[in-house]
Structure formats: structure tokens, C-alpha cells
């Protein structure tokens, strides 16, 4: 589903945010990306949903070679990837329904279809009763659930979450992780960047650890230390 081979990314001339990342995430896997602040977690995720481009190396996502992807194909790729952020990124002036429907408008869905799909994804996160609410009247956990619903509405094959519980207390964080786990159980490939090791330990999933732009361990390869340009991942 996602394959990286020897990927490098630098934002500034003399500093690389990612240095030779190689990994493979199979369809339907749930993977945590961990590591200290500045390790490159967000950068790695941005490369996958084409928010940034790699300087070197190969990235394949859902069968597409991102280096060869034409600009016009990026929206197509993004429709297959749902993204959730630490700060929710909901539009405050729009209702819950409109926040979700916004993602559907671009594909030209009818009003009836939008209602049906918004209702369906809100049900999955347990918030159908808030369909006419506004983000600022929701708790942080509820806002993140709306953001997850929005990410799901185009039925993505990959869900990416960058520190999805960073602004939430421990109990609510656990609820959000449970929702992400349910999404995974239904077959979606899920990638979660977090430095909350309590959550990571409790969930018992594959963990890829980054440090200083390199992949320093991958629990899917417990016996083999991840290094340099080797392809790491499940066979």
C-alpha cells in the first residue's frame, strides 16, 4: 500500500529532515510512527499525501509512483487518503454537516447523497446527533471525531493521523484511538504519528521509530535492526 525506498527530504540546504527512509506498509496494517520532536514524523506523512515532495528516493502509494505523479493527479490520490491533524482543522463558521460535505462537494455528490454519507460517517464516530452543531460548541474530543468523520467520507484506503490526540486528555485520547482501531478493523490502512508512548504501548501495534530523520527501529522486524537503505517491512 505504501512503499518508500531510500527517501530523503530537506527543507533547508544543510539540514535533512529525512535521511534514507525505507519502509513498507501493507494494505490493512495499523502502524504507529514515533520518535522525538523534530524526528521527521510529520514530514514522512506529508510525503505520503503529497503535501511535500521527496528530494530523492522512491515513494509508491496505492499503486502510484509519487515522483511521476502529474499535478492533476494529486486530487485523485488525496481522495484515497484521509488526513487527521492534532488541531482538528475544522471550519468554525460551518456546521458539522457542512464540514463533512465540503469534502464531498469536490466530487460532485448530490445533496441527498451528501446527507446519507455524512450521516453514515458520523454514526461511525458516534456523533450523528451533532450533525447540525458547530465546531466551537463541541468538546475537543468531539471535534476530533468530526475531523475523523470528514477524513472518512470519501471512503479512503489510507487514513493518516498526525498527533491526533495531542490536544486531548488521556481518557478522550483513548476513545479516539479506539475509533481509529475500528476503522483499521474494517480494512483501512492506518498510520498514526504520535509521541505518546502510553498509547503506543497499550495498542500493541506495529511501531516504526524515527530519530533524527532516520528509521531506527521497526517492531515488524524485531530481530533485524533497521538501517540505511535496506527495504524494511513485512514480507
Q: Which residues bind Mg ion (CB under 5 A)?
A: 41-42
Question: Nearest 5°: phi and psi at 125?
Answer: -105, 10
Tell how strand 2-12 and strand 56-61 pair up. antiparallel
What is the C-alpha to C-alpha distance for residues 234 and 199, in angstroms, rounded to an integer?
A: 23
Applying CB under 6 A, among 38, 126, 225, 228 the residue interacting with ligand ATP is 38
Nearest-CA neighbor of 160 among 134, 135, 194? Answer: 194
Give 81 or 118: the residue with its C-beta nearer to Mg ion: 81
Applying CB under 6 A, among 1, 4, 7, 17 the residue interacting with ligand ATP is 17
Tell how strand 214-218 and strand 206-211 pair up. antiparallel
* Cβ atoms of residues 32 and 209 within 8 Å: no
Residue 20 interacting with ligand ATP (CB under 6 A)? no
- Which span sits near ligand ATP by CB under 6 A: 32-40, 147-155, 174-182, 216-224? 32-40
Applying CB under 6 A, among 20, 40, 164, 233 the residue interacting with ligand ATP is 40
- Which span sits near ligand ATP by CB under 6 A: 9-17, 93-101, 122-130, 136-144? 9-17
What is the C-alpha to C-alpha distance for residues 89 and 46, in angstroms, rounded to an integer?
A: 16
Give 37 or 132: the residue with its C-beta nearer to ligand ATP: 37
Applying CB under 6 A, among 56, 115, 124, 195 the residue interacting with ligand ATP is 195
Q: Vertex 194, ends 78 and 77: CA angle to 5°?
A: 10
What is the C-alpha to C-alpha distance for residues 21 and 230, in angstroms, rounded to an integer?
A: 9
Give 32 or 97: the residue with its C-beta nearer to Mg ion: 32
Nearest-CA neighbor of 57 among 136, 98, 3? Answer: 3
- Which span sits near ligand ATP by CB under 6 A: 35-43, 103-111, 170-178, 184-192? 35-43
Q: Using CB distances below 5 to 8 A depending on partner kind, what does residue 99 bind out of ligand ATP, Mg ion, none?
A: none
Q: Which residues bind ligand ATP (CB under 6 A)?
A: 11-12, 17, 35, 37-43, 195
Amino acid at each position: 500500500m505504501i512503499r518508500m525506498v531510500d527517501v530523503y527530504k530537506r527543507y533547508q540546504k544543510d539540514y535533512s529532515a529525512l535521511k534514507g527512509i525505507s519502509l513498507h506498509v501493507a494494505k490493512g496494517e495499523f502502524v504507529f510512527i514515533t520518535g522525538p520532536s523534530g524526528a521527521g514524523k510529520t514530514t514522512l506523512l506529508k510525503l505520503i499525501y503529497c503535501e511535500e515532495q521527496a528530494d530523492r528516493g522512491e515513494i509508491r502509494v496505492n499503486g502510484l509512483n509519487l515522483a511521476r505523479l502529474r499535478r492533476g493527479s494529486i486530487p485523485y490520490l488525496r481522495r484515497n487518503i484521509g488526513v487527521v491533524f492534532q488541531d482538528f482543522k475544522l471550519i468554525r463558521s460551518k456546521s458539522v454537516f457542512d464540514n463533512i460535505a465540503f469534502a464531498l462537494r469536490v466530487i460532485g455528490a448530490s445533496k441527498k447523497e451528501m446527507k446519507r454519507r455524512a450521516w453514515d460517517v458520523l454514526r461511525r464516530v458516534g456523533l450523528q446527533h451533532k450533525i447540525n452543531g458547530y465546531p466551537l460548541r463541541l468538546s475537543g474530543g468531539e471535534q476530533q471525531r468530526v475531523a475523523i468523520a470528514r477524513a472518512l467520507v470519501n471512503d479512503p484506503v489510507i487514513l493518516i493521523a498526525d498527533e491526533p490526540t495531542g490536544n486531548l486528555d488521556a481518557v478522550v485520547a483513548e476513545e479516539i484511538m479506539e475509533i481509529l482501531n475500528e476503522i483499521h478493523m474494517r480494512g483501512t490502512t492506518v498510520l498514526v504519528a504520535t509521541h505518546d508512548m502510553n498509547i503506543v504501548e497499550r495498542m500493541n501495534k506495529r511501531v516504526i521509530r524515527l530519530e533524527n530523520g532516520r528509521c531506527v527501529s521497526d517492531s515488524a522486524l524485531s530481530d533485524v535492526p533497521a538501517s540505511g537503505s535496506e527495504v524494511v517491512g513485512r514480507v
